[in-house]
Amino acid sequence: METKLARKLNNLGDALSNFSDALTLEPTSFQELVADNIKSGQIQKFEFTIELLWKTIQAFLYEVDGVDAVTPKSVAKEFVEAGYCDYPMYELFIQAINDRNQLSHIYRQEMAESIWSRLPEYEKLAKHFAAIMRDKYFGKE
């Protein structure tokens, strides 16, 4: 039987794959309207992936370490305190969470462009965290 965490890890893998695929498109290769839609799609995939990432980490911390964190930032704090990532990665994760929150509540073109420029960093971070959780979780079975 597949556990909740195994299902979340698989879903996160799928979301990361979609996010990575979206980032292979270079918006500057297209006309302005198409480029804007590509960037919007990449940002939307980022929002979805970061949301799924923190919720997967939440389930991971609960199932593997017995830690019950409820907010995205408390999940990030517990993840670094448990030794799964270093402080610079924690800071980048917090920045990604803040960026996702900003996009969800306020939309300004300049802000979206700034966040869009950080998407490759966030993709690497999410892939790294997913690998840490997969190795720890599936390595124990």
12-35 pLDDT tens trace = 999 999 999 999 999 989 999 999
User: Which CATH number fits the domain that encloses residue 104?
Assistant: 1.20.120.330
Give residue 111's identity as a one-letter amino acid code: M
Q: Give the model's pLDDT for residue 106.
A: 65
Buried/exposed code over 104-123 (b: 16+ C-beta within 10 A; e: otherwise):
eeeeeeeebeebbeebeebb
- Token output for 46: 């980022």
103-138 pLDDT tens trace = 877 667 788 889 999 999 999 999 999 999 999 998
The count of domains in the chain is 1
Helix axes 4-23, 119-140, angle to 10 degrees: 150
Q: What confidence tier does 1 reach under pLDDT thresholds 50, 70, 90?
A: low
76-97 pLDDT tens trace = 999 999 999 999 999 999 999 9
Q: pTM of the predicted model, to two decimals?
A: 0.93
The rounded distance, in Å, linking the Cα atoms of 33 and 124 is 28
Print the domain residue range for 108. Answer: 4-140
